[in-house]
Chains A and B, each alone.
Chain A
């Protein structure tokens, strides 16, 4: 299993450009999420999905869109990039066992710089 994969690893954008960060998992996990990681602020939830066709907002959703057409893929779209969106972005997937223990698997991250 490849686990959670993210592309690209690095990206530089100019203010106002749009782009899509790709995320895929091959573990048949129902739950997927996107976080951004900024120095001194930990990880903050952007959007999440509990299954194909179902998405919801996290703590910091503004400026980002998501969709989940398949179980495997959960792309994150930046509509009009701003310097404040410079960050490291992590995608994660998880499942819940019968004992209600969540095991969340993170991808390797995408480092985005907006000039």
Chain B
């Protein structure tokens, strides 16, 4: 079964620190890797996404690092803020499909 393994399950970071969430995948056909942010009682919202033709993508304080050979990608949140406290999901999809495989989620808490 195609899987995306996400770690850690939960993460506590001090305000101003760096939050790092990791994902690993098995299917080398995956070509799109989004990260979603979900606040309690809300639906997930797209945060940032990357394709395997680049090794890094940065949008504001959020950066995706992608390692194609290791089949891993990670989300880095720089200068973490209490407002970043949420659950983060990585996902992956294959070309020509709209089917996404999600990781199990990471609950991030940023302490003020």
Identify whether the interface residues of A are mostly helix, strand, loop, or mixed: strand
Contact with A along B85-112 (1 / 0, CB 8 A): 0000101010100111111110000000
Q: Which of B6, B32, B43, B95 contacts A42 (CB 8 A)?
A: B6
List the count of A-B residue pairs having beta carbons below 8 Å apart. 62
Q: Which of B32, B36, B43, B104 contacts A40 (CB 8 A)?
A: B104
Q: Does B45 contact A (CB under 8 A)?
A: yes
Which of A62-70, A78-86, A99-107 is the interface stretch?
Answer: A99-107
**Number of residues on chain B facing chain A (CB within 8 A):** 25
Which of A42, A100, A109 has most B Cβ within 10 Å? A42
Contact with B along A37-80 (1 / 0, CB 8 A): 00011111100101000000011000000000000000000000
A103 touches B46 (CB 8 A): yes
A42 touches B100 (CB 8 A): no
* Distance in angstroms between the alpha carbons of A78 and B42 in the assembled complex: 22
Q: A43-B44, A90-B44 known; A104 and B34 CB under 8 Å?
A: yes
Q: Does B49 contact A (CB under 8 A)?
A: yes
* Min CB gap A25→B, angstroms: 12
Q: Given the complex, which residues of A lie within 8 Å of B99, measured CB to CB?
A: 45, 48, 58
B98 touches A42 (CB 8 A): no
Contact with A along B20-46 (1 / 0, CB 8 A): 000000000000101010000111111
A31 touches B98 (CB 8 A): yes
Interface, chain A (partner B; CB < 8 A): 4, 31, 33, 35, 40-45, 48, 50, 58-59, 90, 92, 94, 96, 100-109
Given A42-B89, A42-B105, A58-B99, 12 more A-B residue pairs with CB atoms under 8 Å apart are A31-B98, A35-B102, A40-B105, A42-B6, A100-B51, A100-B95, A102-B32, A105-B45, A107-B43, A108-B43, A109-B41, A109-B43
List of 10 A-B pairs having minimum Cβ-Cβ separation, nearest first: A106-B43, A42-B102, A43-B102, A42-B104, A31-B98, A106-B44, A42-B105, A90-B43, A108-B43, A107-B43
- 8 CB < 8 A contacts A-B: A42-B103, A43-B89, A48-B99, A59-B101, A94-B98, A100-B32, A106-B45, A108-B43
